[in-house]
Chains A and B, each alone.
Chain A
Amino acid sequence: QVTLRESGPVLVKPTETLTLTCTVSGFSLNNPTMGVSWIRQPPGKALEWLAHIFSNDDKSYSPSLESRLTIAKDTSQSQVVLTMTNVDPADTATYYCARTDIYGLWVTRFDPWGQGILVTVSS
């Protein structure tokens, strides 16, 4: 059974750095047909893709947030970490990680998803 679980702080202050961890099980982060993405969803709003990491350690970032994001993986720990610098109240959202299926160089689908973690940015 494939599972993903997000962990990290639920409250961060403006200008701080947010670090979130996605712990996976049931699949390998070295599988060339799979990857892991981070997606967020502000309260009452739509899904927004943030970052993706491939098995070969290649990375992709949302153009609008690229300067603030870093994604990395620790295969031995089955973990994918997302860091976001200089957070703002507008970054308040539920953050999800999801396994991706890769065909060619592109993601075909996100499945499954973790349960998500609500992160609030407030002083």
Chain B
Amino acid sequence: EAVLTQSPGTLSLSPGERATLSCRAGQSISTTYLAWYQQKPGQAPRLLIYGASSRATGIPDRFSGSGSGTDFTLTISRLEPEDFAVYYCQQYYTFGQGTKLEIK
């Protein structure tokens, strides 16, 4: 069974700062199968990134994904107030435990 470990568990930053979220897989995976989601309180998750680096429709270009093998990164270049949320990575049927991005 696939394992995805996200770090940090919580990230405290200010608007305008750069956010770097990590997702580590238990074994090497194809980039095709790595996706990122954003979830705000009371809402369903929303696809941000698929194929490790492709932005989903309507996602601002301040969101970018990178990585290969076992190490993947979601970067938000300049945080907007609406970006503070929980972020999950996903591989096949497995989700990471999430990173909460909170306002410092």
Query: Chain A interface (Cβ within 8 Å of chain B)?
Result: 37, 39, 46-49, 52, 60, 62-63, 96, 101, 103, 106-116
Q: A108-B32, A108-B50, A111-B56 are in contact. Are A116 and B95 (CB under 8 A)?
A: no
| Total residues of chain B contacting the partner, CB 8 A | 21
Apart from A111-B50, A111-B56, 11 more pairs, CB < 8 Å: A37-B93, A46-B88, A46-B97, A47-B45, A49-B95, A52-B93, A62-B93, A108-B35, A109-B35, A110-B35, A112-B47
Q: A46-B98, A47-B45, A96-B44 are in contact. Are A109 and B93 (CB under 8 A)?
A: no
Select which of B1, B45, B97 is within 8 A of A63 by beta carbon: B1
Query: Chain B interface (Cβ within 8 Å of chain A)?
Result: 1, 32-33, 35, 37, 44-47, 50-51, 56, 88, 90, 92-98
Q: Are A108 and B51 in contact (CB under 8 A)?
A: yes
Q: Are B44 and A109 in contact (CB under 8 A)?
A: no
Alpha-carbon separation in the docked complex, A62 to B94 (Å) = 10
Q: Specify which chain A residues have a CB less than 8 angstroms from the CB of B46 in the assembled complex.
A: 112-113
Q: A108-B51, A111-B56 are in contact. Are A103 and B1 (CB under 8 A)?
A: no
Q: A46-B98, A106-B33 are in contact. Are A114 and B93 (CB under 8 A)?
A: no
